[in-house]
Every structure is written in structure tokens, then in C-alpha cells.
Amino acid sequence: MTETILVFALALLLGWPLGNYLAAVMRGAPMRGDAFFRYIEQPIYRLLGTKPEHGMDWKGYALAFLASNLVLAILVWLIFMTQAWLPLNPNDAPNMRWDLALHTMVSFLTNTNQQHYSGQAQLSYLAQMTGIVGLQVVTPMMGLAIVAATLRGIFGGRNASRSTGANTPTSGQVYVGNYWADVIRPTVRFMLPLCLVFSLALTQQGVPATLLGGPVVAPVDSSVQMKEQKIPLGPVAPMVAIKQLGTNGGGWYGPNSAAPLENPTPLTNLLETLAIILVPVAVAFMVGPFTGRRRFAALVVGCMLLMSVASSGLAIWSEGHSVTSADIALMEGKEVRLGADASALWASLTTQTSNGSVNAMHDSLAPLTGLVTISDMLVNAVWGGIGCGLQQFLVYLMLSVFIAGLMTGRTPELFGRKIEASEVRLLAVLVLLQPLVLLGLTALTLSWPGLAGTSNPGFHGISQVFYEFTSAFANNGSGFEGLGDATYWWNLSCAVVLALGRYPALIIPLAIAAMLASKRRAPEGAGSLQIETPTFALTLIAVIVILTLLQFMPVLVLGPVADHLSLAVR
């Protein structure tokens, strides 16, 4: 309990100043380090052939986002399939099979980091440092850029500046910023410095940071047939820093932060747990100074914090209750160095965000804890990924405004701009896409004999399959291990789900924001729907819960709920 309170307290205390700084970075406000940072940024702008003061409309912004993703996709896919022929491969990792390379590339390109491979054995140092860590750095900043552009569209150009290119609408043109500036500025000025500090702290605690091959040692138990063992090392600390801070989650080692080399001490466990939510919390605080509406930022932070505390509390209660009331076998798959509470807190926070890293195997969690983690990913807006979580929160916000407006007999308006049929149709696409993809593919996988490759044929097997697709669609990346997931089916189906969970969820709200920005703003009066109130906050949370439960209640009952009841009977 002490660690839980400490993590939330530190996240809030550090998230507020970081959010203010991040808002200044995204606005392009003058700052002391401008001379130094521009020395790094200007050559990149020249290489890209762009000027940060030139704004883009939403279509140009989205096109630049998709084009950058396409270039990175081709480059990283080729690296994975040719890594055996490239340098920095002291462990002699072979080339990846095309489908596994495709899944891995799409997974990291979408800021998901779902792993169907074991990093220390199947990736070279070069592939880890360029293809993996490179995407882990840039893809969270792409999500942040898209949500910044969306906020500019919703709130107009009141906080725009020359360096962001987010000009006020002229002649019907709505500018939402310069995509390249919105990605490069926070990468150089925010994420990389933060990762440097964090990686140094991890290295001091014993997380490896070397380009040398690992040592060969004799096993402690001389009776085993294996006479020697190679300890896999590498530049682990920098990767752990960005995988935690960037809501990435993909680990250097297969067991992720359950491996002692990624998470060796109680202090590293505290730091890595804090890092899961630190930047998402900062992004939520960023809303206030970025938009100029502090009360709206209070709504965002308050709703997310309330859902986060409820989720974490339920997970810790469930896990602690299962361990104390049952036999010791329930500790299987959990990190005994840290305890059940630390495992449950991490599991809850890593699914509240799109982090997906683990310090215990989620397949071994109590069924109700598994229900919490799945629900967190279905909501995907408790804190969410960097940018992506706030983007999903804005979707729920617009839906709640529309529903509340109809219930109270008011015209649905968001900050003086009407939400009409065209916007609602686009919101409906996002609402319906999730159940169609997740339930459809789960049913298909379970109905085809041998396709799922689950280690459990019963209720838990349903949870394993549903969890895998949910994790992919939520761009989370964690998994109920036990699936034989390195197959053509899982690699290709999850690659499709990864893309469907990322790109529509980012681009459609951006398009809606541009549509709202093009409308005449009506003055807010006594008859306007007030959203910056506790009443609307509770309405918003209710809409989120009802949408999640109504759409997915049957599969949740057949999976984790039935699993829990079957264990209770025993």
C-alpha cells in the first residue's frame, strides 16, 4: 500500500511541472535552451525539407504522419529480416522470418510493443538499438503530435505560435500545426533528456549497459546436463528507460521487467512503476496551459485519476485476496522478490496506459485481476498512451456531450461548436470498430481447432485469446502468456489488429476537430452544457463504463468471470 501511495503521489507531483514544460514545448514558446536545441533541430528540418513555422491543415498533417510511418515501416522491416548479415550481433541472432518481422515492425511502429519473440535470443544489438529503440522513441511523440493538433482544432488558434505553425483559420482553412515540428521538438527537448536521466539511474542500480557480448559461466547446480551458460547482456538500461517512459513496454528480455537484469532492485521496481504513468500524467496536466482552460484540465486529470485509483485498488485487492486465501501455487508466475501487491499495481498501471510491460506474468494473475487489466485496455483512456490516451478520452468526451445534450434537451455543443450528424457518424465508426474486430477475431480463432494454440482449453483459454487481440487493439502489448503466438495466424492477424487500433483512433478525432474548428463558435451562456463540472465528470465516467460493459459483457463473463467462479467452486 505504501508503494502504491508513493507512486501516485510522485506521478502527480512530477507530472504537473512536466506538463507545464511540455505545453511550452508544444506551443513553441521561447525557452532558455533554444540555442542548444535549435542546433540539433534545424539540420533535421532542412533534411526533411520543412519549416516549422509553416502550418498544415488536418489532411496534410495526417498525410505527413502516415508517410513517416510508411518510411519507418519499410526500413525497420528490412533490418529485422537482415540482422544476421549486419554488424553488432555478438549473440549470432538469425534473420527474422518475414511474418514475425512484419508483426514486430507493426507492433513497435504503432507504439504497442507486443512481442512474439524473445529479444535477447532473436534480435541483434543493432536491431534492438535501431529498429526497436528508435521506434520506441519516435512513435510516442507521433501520438503526442496528433493529440496536440486535435486540441488546436477543438480550441482554435488561441495558443498557436510561429514555431508550431498552428495558425488561426483563414478563408475556411483550418491549420492544426506542423507535424514535423510537433514530433521533433518534444523528442529532442523532452523525451530524450528524460530518458538519459532515467537510464543513468537504472545503470547505477545494476541494469546492464554494454555493447560487449555476455559472459559464459558455469551453472550453480553442477548436476544439470548443461555445463555452461551464456548470460545475455547488451545496452539494456537505455531501452528500459524508453520502454517505460514512452508507454512502450517491449523488453530486452523475454520475461520483460520480471527478469532481474531489467529490474534488479526494489528501487528500480519503484522507478519503473512510476515511469509507466509519469508522462501520461504529464500529458493530462499539459492540457491546461496548452489550451488555456485550466478547469478542462482539471476535468481530464480528475476523471483519469479516479478511474486509475479504482482500477489499481481492485487489482491489488483481488491479487492479495487470492494469495492469502488459497494455496501457495497462486504465486506461480509472480515475482516473489517484490510481492503480490507490487505485481498487481504494475499490472493495473501498465494496462491503464498503453505500456504493456510486466514484472509478473499476467497469465498467472487471479481471474478478477485479469478482468481489471482487460477492462483497462478496453477503455484505453484511464491514462492511455502518450497522446493516444488523451485522444481516446476526447472521443468519450464528445460522445458524452452528444448524449448529455440529448438527455437535457440542449443542442450538443463542445466549447460553443455544435456536434452534429457528420461528427457523430465518425464517432460511431470508432465505437463499432472495436467490438467488430475484437469479438469477430476472438470467435474465429476459438472456433477453428488448433488455431489459437492456447495452453488452457477452458474459460482461461477464452481469456488468453481475447486478451491477445484486446492488447493489440489497445496498442498495449502485454499478454496472457501461454499462447503459441509465434505462428503465421497470430503474427498476421495481430498485425492487422495493431494497425486498426492505432490509425483510425488517431486520425478520425483529428478530422472531427478540424470539422468543429471550421464552424462558427456560438457564445456560451446559461443554456450551454457545462462540461467542466463534477456532474459532467461522473456522466463521462458512466458513459465510458457503460460502453465498455455493454459491448463486452458476454466475453468477460465467459472468460475471467467464469474462470473466477470455477476456482471459487474448487
Structure confidence at residue 160 (pLDDT): 39
The C-alpha atoms of residue 275 and residue 201 are separated, in whole angstroms, by 12
Q: How far is it, in rounded angstroms, from Cα 325 to Cα 20?
A: 46
Residues 6 or more apart in contact with residue 400 via CB below 8 angstroms: 531, 536, 539, 540, 543
Q: Which residues contact residue 396 at a Cβ distance below 8 angstroms, ignoring those fewer than 6 apart?
A: 381, 540, 543, 544, 547
Hey, what's the torsion of the CAs at 260, 338, 312, 458, to 10 degrees? 80
The CA-based dihedral angle spanning residues 532, 537, 539, 545, taken in that order and rounded to the nearest 10 degrees:
150
Three-state SS across 309-325? HHHHHHHHHHHHHHHHH
Asked if residues 338 and 361 have their Cβ atoms less than 8 Å apart, the reply is no
Q: How far, in Å, CA of 374 to CA of 370, rounded?
A: 6
Q: Give pLDDT, residue 412.
A: 86
For position 480, what pLDDT does the model report?
86
For position 416, what pLDDT does the model report?
A: 84
Q: Whole-angstrom Cα distance, residue 118 to residue 81?
A: 15
Predicted local confidence at residue 217, as pLDDT: 83
> What is the per-residue pLDDT for 322?
64
Q: What is the pLDDT along the chain (570 residues), one digit of tens a residue?
A: 789 999 999 999 999 999 999 999 999 999 988 999 999 999 999 999 999 989 999 999 999 999 999 999 999 999 999 999 999 998 889 999 999 999 999 999 999 999 999 888 899 999 999 999 999 999 999 999 999 999 999 987 433 333 444 444 444 578 999 999 999 999 999 999 999 999 999 999 999 999 887 788 887 766 667 777 788 888 999 999 999 999 999 888 988 998 999 999 999 999 999 999 999 999 999 999 999 999 999 999 999 999 999 999 999 998 877 654 444 555 666 667 778 889 999 999 999 999 999 998 888 888 999 999 999 999 999 999 999 999 999 999 999 999 988 888 777 888 888 898 999 999 999 999 999 999 999 999 999 888 888 777 789 889 999 999 999 999 999 988 778 888 999 999 999 999 999 999 999 999 999 999 988 887 776 667 788 999 999 999 999 999 888 889 999 999 999 988 887 665
Q: Give first-to-last CA distance, the chain, whole Å.
A: 29
Residues in the chain: 570
Count of alpha carbons within 13 angstroms of residue 308, beta-carbon side: 30
Position 363 scores a pLDDT of: 86
Q: Which residues, at least 6 apart from 17, have a Cβ–Cβ distance to it below 8 Å?
A: none
Cell of 187: 523528442
CB 341 within 8 A of CB 320: yes
What does the radius of gyration of the chain's CA atoms come to, in whole angstroms? 23
